[in-house]
Structures are given as structure tokens and as C-alpha cells.
Amino acid sequence: MELRLRDIKITLGMDVLRGKSPPMVRKEIYMHLLAYNLIRQLMARAAADHGRDLHRVSFAGTVQHVDAVLPYLHLYAGTARCRRLVDLLLRWIAHDTVPDRPGRVEPRAVKRRPKQYGLLNKPRGQMRQELVA
């Protein structure tokens, strides 16, 4: 469960929340949950329409396909071209499957720290004084 939740947070860009107050953070989380459910609904529809196993459809791939098509859906909203784009999007989603990887085990470790800066383990003011001195 923890691995799936972490994967969802990273895939949706939710690993760092930008809200400054508790109500804004709550709203941000609700919007991410809404986006997650809409993406899952798209995956379910694509799998059903194209006879694919829902558990094999790629979540990250679906997010990437939606990001690629979304500007064009806004551009052609309400037209026959929009309908064709939706059909094409559903076909792309259905055919972007995750391969079967039996016995796959991934280590739960970080290879390297993503930033080359040290940790801020003292008060910011004290660190500033040490840098200036």
C-alpha cells in the first residue's frame, strides 16, 4: 500500500505540496484525489472499450497521454475532431500496458540524494552567520 501511495504521489506531482495553510493543503490534496479518480476512470473506460485487463494498463502512461492530448481537447471542444481525439486517447491508453514481471523485487533504498546541497540541520540564521564568517 505504501509503495502504491508513494508512486501515485510522485506520478501526480504531489510529493511536494505547495499550500501554505492547512485549508489550502487540504484543497490541494482533494484536487489531486479528484485527478487520480478521473485518470482511473479513463483507464477503466479504455480497458473496457478495447478488451484489455485493467490491472495491466499503465497509470503513468495514462497521465502522459492525457497531458499530451489535453491542449488539443480544449482547442477542439464540442467538435467531431474532439470526439476522434478522445477515441484516439482511449486507444493509446489501452495499448500502453505494463509488462508481466513475475518475481520482480525492487530494493527500498535511495541511490543518491537528488540535490547536491547538505541538509539544513541548524537554524537558518545560524547557518547564514557561519557562511558569512
User: Could you tell me if 86 and 70 are in contact, meaning their C-beta atoms sit under 8 angstroms apart?
Assistant: no
Residue type, 74: H
Per-residue model confidence (pLDDT) at position 104: 75
Measured between alpha carbons, how far is 59 from 97 in angstroms, rounded to an integer?
9
Confidence of residue 1 (pLDDT cuts 50, 70, 90): low
Task: Please classify residue 73 by burial: count the beta carbons closer than 10 Å to its beta carbon, then call 0-12 exposed, 13-18 middle and 19+ buried.
Answer: middle
Tell me if residue 45 falls in helix, strand or coil: helix
The pLDDT, as a whole number, for residue 112 is 65
Instruction: Say how many CA atoms lie within 13 Å of 125 toward its Cβ.
Output: 0
Q: What pLDDT does residue 16 have? A: 79
Q: Is the pLDDT of residue 19 over 80?
A: yes
Total Cβ atoms within 10 A of residue 39: 20
Average pLDDT of span 74-78: 93
On average, the pLDDT of the chain sits at: 87
Per-residue pLDDT, 114: 67
Mean pLDDT computed over 28-36: 89
> Could you report the per-residue pLDDT of 85-114, keeping only the tens digit for each?
999 999 999 999 888 878 877 766 766 666
| pTM, rounded to two decimals | 0.68
The SS3 of residue 114 is coil
The pLDDT score that the predictor gives to residue 62 is 94
**Stretch 19-32: mean pLDDT, rounded?**
90
What letter represents residue 129's amino acid? Q
